[in-house]
Structure 1
Amino acid sequence: MQVTINGIDTRYVLSNEGGGPWLTFIHQLAGDLSVWDQQAGYFRNDFTVLRYDLRGHGETALSLGAFSIEQLADDLAELLHKLGAPSTHVVGLSIGGMVAQQFAVDHASLVDSLTVVGAPAFTPEDARPTFGQRAASVRENGTENIVEATLDRWLTADFRKRHPEVVEQIRDTILRTPPEGFARAAEAIRDFDVREKLRSVAKPTLVVAGKHDTGTPNAASRLIADTVPGALFETLDAAHLSPIECSTQFTALLATFLRSSV
């Protein structure tokens, strides 16, 4: 389904067979809402499950000009308003985890719980040039230029070997991502920092890290758990995309957390 959010034609999928509390999933850079297919299928009987494509990703249009993580969080707030959601449990992966943190800080009244997966609280100074370089590279050469290196970071070699069909689906999603959508999102990541605001998060919080995640080291994820009062920290035997690589374990972990938060 499509709805206009802050002037942007936005794709979303709403599964509310259970008619329960709202549960929103936010995808990774160069991803789309399909990364959450398994979780949406599992939770739809007990929750009103919302998935959507970020600006310039999937089937959501690209806005004019640069955008920030704060603006992406505002997009989610407006989407929830348009759909009539009073509040939501929010789960974000990678850039989605950054958006989820920003959303919890800027729109606290809309948050029932926060789950951050494979995302830091800020982009370190020495890593910022990398995101600028990726943005420039993709603008010039398209996502074809980064797809193999991205897959290497996102999934362990063993998983890629055992599940080539999953790898192909993710590769196709990366390749379909509009270059400018990727570039502007990468630049938003470059400038992201909520370290000084996380202590204000007062809702139940779960932080999930992949043991083999080189893009978001475990220490970066643990910083969030150490900063948000009462936050839980868990690791899974995965690289960056732990909800894909350890889908059963991740879903069980999230289900347990949500049961304690409802």
Structure 2
Amino acid sequence: MNWHPRPLDPADITVHRRGRGKPLVLLHCLGMDWHFWDVLEPLADQLELIAYSFPGHHDSRLPLGQYGEAELAGQLKALLEREGVNRANLAGISMGGSLAQYFAGTYPEMVERVILCDCTPRYTDEMRANWPVRAALARTNGVASLIPMLEKVFFTQASLDENGPNVRHVKEKWAACSGEGYALGCEWLAMLDAREQARRMTMPTSILLGSNESQAFKDAARWMNDNIPGSAGIVEVPMAGHASVRERPEFAIEHFRRFLC
């Protein structure tokens, strides 16, 4: 895969803020947008929830080309400065959790506490090789074509059978996601490596993951717990897959409140 990351323009991003209290910046997963975090709305009584959509997702314009974690972190830093946020809590899931590690290790003075959900600082070699394949499928057939494969990763079979509002929300967002926006995210994840930055994270950090996560993500959680100096341990979300926060929001809200408030 050719790799030519370019700077990202913060002017392309709309930041959405709600609630009151200490700021909590929320970073969503691939194919979603800032609405992924709507399930955490009850936290707005104690925290200011700050969210935005990644480049090429929903209300954020397609970037001029490829980007990596350094470009995303630089854009996030510029967004926080633009919004007058000097220091914040940070939470990210999957792709967002990978960025959270890079950002917290690069700009620790801007981060109070971190929650890392269902993520890794670097994908396994097998997974890295698969990302360009998925990017090509998204460009050629659209993200909707990937839903039969993705849904089994993101949710437990019980939730898929129930097909409740949180499952339907995620499927609808995939179907509406830009193929190019999704593909550019795939290409970043193929190149991702935030291990060095993770080792610099001395702030309190909670590692959250679904009980039905794949072995690769369970291994990543153990690596993060062993290597992040500020790790407060691993918390398993019961009866949940990769979209743990969205699949079991009540559990997530309780944990976020206990760890951050």
Query: What TM-score, normalized to structure 2?
Result: 0.92
CA contact (8 A) 1:8 1:63 kept: no
**SS at structure 2 position matched to 1:112:** strand
Which residue of structure 1 aligns with residue 23 of structure 2?
A: 22
Report the AA paired with residue 184 of structure 1: L
Report the AA paired with residue 9 of structure 2: N
Which residue of structure 2 aligns with residue 12 of structure 1?
A: 15
* Whole-Å separation in 2 of the counterparts to 1:174 and 1:215: 24
Deviations 1:128-147 (A, max 9, x none): 11111000111111112201
CA deviation after TM superposition for structure 1 residue 8, in Å: 4.3
Report the AA paired with residue 12 of structure 1: V
Which residue of structure 2 aligns with residue 244 of structure 1?
A: 246
Deviations 1:49-97 (A, max 9, x none): 1011001111100110110122112211111111000111000001000
CA contact (8 A) 1:27 1:53 kept: yes
CA contact (8 A) 1:207 1:222 kept: no
Report the AA paired with residue 185 of structure 1: G
Which residue of structure 2 aligns with residue 134 of structure 1?
A: 134
**SS at structure 1 position matched to 2:236:** strand
User: What does 1:41-80 correspond to in 2, within 5 Å?
Assistant: 41-80=41-80
Report the AA paired with residue 14 of structure 1: R
* Whole-Å separation in 1 of the counterparts to 2:45 and 2:216: 32
Report the AA paired with residue 124 of structure 2: P
**SS at structure 2 position matched to 1:78:** helix
Report the AA paired with residue 157 of structure 2: A
CA contact (8 A) 1:121 1:223 kept: no
**SS at structure 2 position matched to 1:136:** helix
The number of residue pairs the alignment matches comes to 252
* Whole-Å separation in 2 of the counterparts to 1:160 and 1:71: 35
* Whole-Å separation in 2 of the counterparts to 1:169 and 1:209: 20
Which residue of structure 1 aligns with residue 206 of structure 2?
A: 206
Q: Sequence identity of aligned pairs in percent?
A: 24
**SS at structure 1 position matched to 2:65:** coil
CA deviation after TM superposition for structure 1 residue 105, in Å: 1.2
Q: Which one is further off, 44-53 or 95-104? A: 44-53
Which residue of structure 1 aligns with residue 5 of structure 2?
A: none
Runs of 5+ consecutive residues of structure 2 not aligned to the other structure? 1-7
Report the AA paired with residue 124 of structure 1: T
Runs of 5+ consecutive residues of structure 1 not aligned to the other structure? none
CA deviation after TM superposition for structure 1 residue 216, in Å: 4.9
CA deviation after TM superposition for structure 1 residue 11, in Å: 2.6
* Whole-Å separation in 2 of the counterparts to 1:198 and 1:81: 23
* Whole-Å separation in 2 of the counterparts to 1:216 and 1:169: 26
**SS at structure 2 position matched to 1:44:** helix
CA contact (8 A) 2:204 2:230 kept: yes
Q: CA RMSD in A?
A: 1.5
